[in-house]
Amino acid sequence: MDKNTDYDALVIGAGFSGIATLHYFREAGFSTVVVDKEAEVGGTWWVNRYPGVRTDSEYPYYSFSFSKEVREEWNWSERYPTGKEVLEYLKFVVDRLDMRKHMMFNTKVEKAVYNESDKVWEVTLSTGKTLRVSYLVSGMGVLSKPIWPDIPGRETFKGTLLHTAMWPSEGFDLAGKRVGLIGLGSSGLQITPTIAPVVDHLTVFQRTPNFVVDATLSKTTPEELAHVKETYDEIWERAAAHPFGVDMVPAQYSAKEVSEEERDRIFESKWKAGGFHFANECFNDLATDHESAELASEFIRKKIRETVTDPETAELLCPKDYSFNGKRVPTVAGYYDTYNRPNVKLVDVKSTPITEFTEKGVRVGDTEYELDVIICATGFDAMTGNLTKLDIVGRGGKVLREKFAEGLIGGNLGISYNGFPNFLVALGPQTPYSNLPVPIQLGAQWMAEALSYARDNGIDELEATTESEQWWAEEVDRAGKSTVMFEQGKKAKAWFLGDNVPGKPQQFQVYMGGGQVYQDFCRQAKEDNYRSFRAPELVNA
Ligand code: N01
C-alpha cells in the first residue's frame, strides 16, 4: 500500500459546508484542501445572486457558532440578511480564520476514483492535476444543480434568458424591461416583490401557487446584537435541539385543541412575528396532521383574499390542491401586495401550460407573451443532483450515481456509502429538513471526530455497512410518511420528494424526523465507535 498523499482530506465546495469542514478538520490536525469551481467562497450564496435573495432564517442561527472571534467581531445588519451580506459574512469568516491558504478557486473536481490497493482517493482537477488524499468530502450543497423548465424552444428566444441560480456575477439591469417569470418556489417568490417596482412590466407565469408566509424584515440594533452575542451559546443550543434547527420553542398544542377564536388569535400573532415563526410556533401538528395543516392553509388563503384586491387574481394565488407544508414553506416580505401593482400580471399556466419559448417570448395556448427578459426560477435537482453529476468511483469501479439508481440515496445517515470508503458527505441526501447552518456545523464536527477516531485506532477505512444503509432508508421513509409532507408533497410535486424532476424516483430526499432525532442517531453511532461505518471485516477490530 502506497499512501503517499498530497493532503489528508480534500473537500469539494467552499460554501457553508466546506468552510465548517475545513474548520473542524484543521482543528483535528488533518491537512485539508478545499476546492471550488467558482472564483470565491460562498457556494449557494455565490451563485444565487438574483434580486431579493436573502435568508429566510434569522441571523442568530444562520451563522456558525464555532468561532468566538467571528461571533464577537461580525455584526449583522438585518434580521434576515441579504444574500450579499451572507456572502460578506462567509468571506469574513474565511479571512478572519486564515482559511484561504487552504483553498483553491476556479478549480473544478472532474472525477474522483478510489484506489483500493493504496486506500486513497485520486481526485482529478480541471487544472489537469490529480491529487491523492485519504479522505474525500463532498461539501457541494443540497440545491446546487439548477434545472430549466421542461418547455421546448429555449434556445429560440432572442431576448435575455436568466436562471435565478446562475445569475450573472456582474448583475443584470432589469429597469424598464418587460420581464416574464417562470417558477414560484422560494427563489421566484423572493424576486417578485423586489423587481416589480423596477421593471416596465412583470408577467408571472404560475403553475402551482404557494403558501407564502410574510417575512417581517427589520434592521438590527446595537442593543439586540449585543444581547445575541452575550447569549449566543444558549441560542445555538436551542436551535440544535429544535427539529427544524431554529431558535424557537416548539408549540405545545394541536390546532384542533383550541377554539376557533383562540386559533385565529394564535395564527395572527405568529403571522405578525413573521417567517418560520408561523410554521413552527403556532401549533405542534401543522406538519403531522392533515386537518391542522388545512386550518393553517385556510388562514393563509384568508390573508391572500384580504390583501389582493382583484378577486380573480386572489383566487388564482390561493393553493387549493394541497395544504400548508406540502411544499417547503417560503417566507417573503410583501409578496401578495405585489399583485396590486398595475404593472404586474399573474398568468395561470396550470390550466393552459406554457407550450414553447418563441423568438419574442413564450406561448401559452393561443397567446404569445412578448418579453425582453425571461427569468427561470425553476429550482434544482435537489440533494442528489450535485453528487450524480460527478464521477465518484468507488470499489470495483462502481459510480455513486449507479448506487443512487438502486435507491439507497442516503447511505448511512446521509454521510457515508457502502462501496465508497473514506468518502463523506456534508449535508448529504436524507439529512434533516432544516435551517441548514445548524446540521452543517454539527455534521462537520461529527465527521472530524469520526476520522480522528479512525486515525487514532488504526482504522484505514470508514464506510457505511449495508445493514446501516437499509436501516437508514427505512427510517427516512417511516419518518417522512408520518408527516403531512408525504401526501401533500405528492400533490404539490415537492422537490423534497424528488417530484420536481421528470423521471426522478419518488423518495424522500431529506429526513423529516427532526434535527434533534437525527443528532441523537449520530451521537449513538459515535458512542458505538462508528461500528455502522465500518465494513464487516473491520468491525471486530
Ligand atoms: O425552486 P422550487 P426554488 N412551467 O423547486 C416551477 C431553497 N431556497 O429555487 O410547483 C411553470 O421550489 C415550479 O412549479 P410547480 C428552498 O429550500 C431558499 O424556488 O412544479 N412553472 C415551481 O414553482 C427552496 O424550497 C431560499 O408547479 C414551472 C418552481 O418552478 C429551494 O431552494 C431562497 C415549470 C420551482 O420551485 C428551491 O427553491 C431560494 C414549468 N414548465 C431557494 N417548471 C431562501 O430563502 C418548473 N416550474 C434562503
Q: How far apart are CA 291 and CA 286, in angstroms?
A: 8
Residue 192 Cα to ligand 1 middle (Å): 13
* pLDDT above 60: residue 100: yes
Residue 418 lies in a domain: yes
For the range 454-457, what are the long-range contacts, defined as Cβ-Cβ under 8 Å and sequence gap of 24 or more?
454/530, 457/529, 457/541
| CA–CA separation, 124 and 371 (whole Å) | 43
As given in the structure block, the three cell numbers for residue 356 are: 414553447
Q: What is the pTM of this model?
A: 0.96
Residues written for the chain: 541
Atom 36, ligand 1: which residue's CA is nearest? 185
What is the rounded (10 degree) CA torsion for 439, 444, 448, 454?
60
Mean pLDDT of the chain, nearest integer: 96
**354 CA closest ligand 1 atom index:** 4
Are 67 and 45 contacting, i.e. CB atoms less than 8 angstroms apart? Answer: no
Domain residue limits at 130: 7-145+381-533
Which of 143, 246, 331 for mutating ligand 1's site (highest number of atoms within 8 Å of CB)? 143
**Residue 168 pLDDT:** 94
Whether the predicted pLDDT of 538 surpasses 60: no
Is residue 277 situated within a structural domain? no
- At 540, the pLDDT band (50, 70, 90 cuts) reads very low
Q: Which of 137, 430, 13, 490 is nearest to 290 (CA)?
A: 490
Residues 308-322 have a mean pLDDT of: 98
In a domain, 224, yes or no: no
SS3 category, 11: strand
What CATH number does the domain containing 498 carry?
A: 3.50.50.60
C-alpha of residue 476 to centroid of ligand 1, in Å: 23
What separation in Å is there between the alpha carbon of 511 and the centre of ligand 1?
A: 19
Say if residue 238's pLDDT is above 80.
yes
Instruction: Report DSSP state, residue 154.
Output: G
23 Cα: distance to centroid of ligand 1 (angstroms):
32
CA separation, residue 221 to residues 75, 214, 401, 496 (Å): 10, 21, 48, 36
Is 231 a member of any domain? no
In a domain, 209, yes or no: no
pLDDT at 3: 77
pLDDT at 394 over 50: yes
Confidence at 250, pLDDT banded by 50, 70, 90: confident
Query: In this structure, which amino acid lies at residue 173?
Result: D
For residue 541, what pLDDT is reported? 45
| Torsion from C-alpha of 443, 444, 446, 449, nearest 10 degrees | 170
**149 CA distance to ligand 1 middle (Å):** 11
Helix or strand run (H / E) with residue 474: helix 466-481
500 Cα–ligand 1 center, Å: 9
Which atom of ligand 1 is least distant from the CA of 151?
Answer: 41
Tracing cell 480564520 back to the chain, one arrives at 97
In this structure, the residue with its CA closest to atom 9 of ligand 1 is 379
**Domain for residue 340, yes or no?**
no
Overall domain count for the chain: 1
Is 23 part of a structural domain of the chain? Answer: yes
DSSP bridge pairs for 125? 109
- pLDDT category at 537 given cuts 50, 70, 90 is low
Q: Is residue 35 part of a domain?
A: yes
Residues with CB under 6 A from ligand 1: 55-56, 143, 149-151, 182-188, 190, 205, 207-208, 328, 349, 354, 377-380, 493, 495, 500
